[in-house]
Amino acid sequence: MKIFCGTDIIEIDRIKSSIEENGDNFLNKIYTKKEIEYCESKKNAKYQHYSARFAAKEAVFKALSQLLADKYEVSWKDIEIVNLEDGKPIVNLLKKGYNIDYIELSLSHSRDYAVAMALVGINI
């Protein structure tokens, strides 16, 4: 098995500004309906959750890029970040055919930054 790693950190104010300046155009380009519903349910902390999901998508893309660069085009909404009932974030790859065995994801955020790390495993 081969394991690929990706990580990303983002300033929460950068995502907040993008949402405030571009509204639904930005949200609908980057996030799925489930992601938007989840983040909006967080009220005052919604920008931290949007930012964590943005960082997660970047981290997953970075981990997958070595595998997919020549075979697939991946868009923002092909990578969906949702939470299990216990709160654990998971990745749904909405485009099929990636042949990935597993993806582990870790998210965190503070007042100013959100960070994500993704580990992707594939049998080669």
Whether 120 and 106 have beta carbons less than 8 Å apart is answered as: no
> What is the pLDDT at residue 45?
96
Considering 28-37, 62-71, 96-105, the range whose residues carry the highest mean pLDDT is: 28-37
70/55 Cα distance (integer angstroms): 23
Q: What does the pLDDT look like over 72-111, one tens digit per residue?
A: 677 899 999 999 999 999 999 887 767 788 999 999 999 9
pTM of the model: 0.93
87/55 Cα distance (integer angstroms): 17
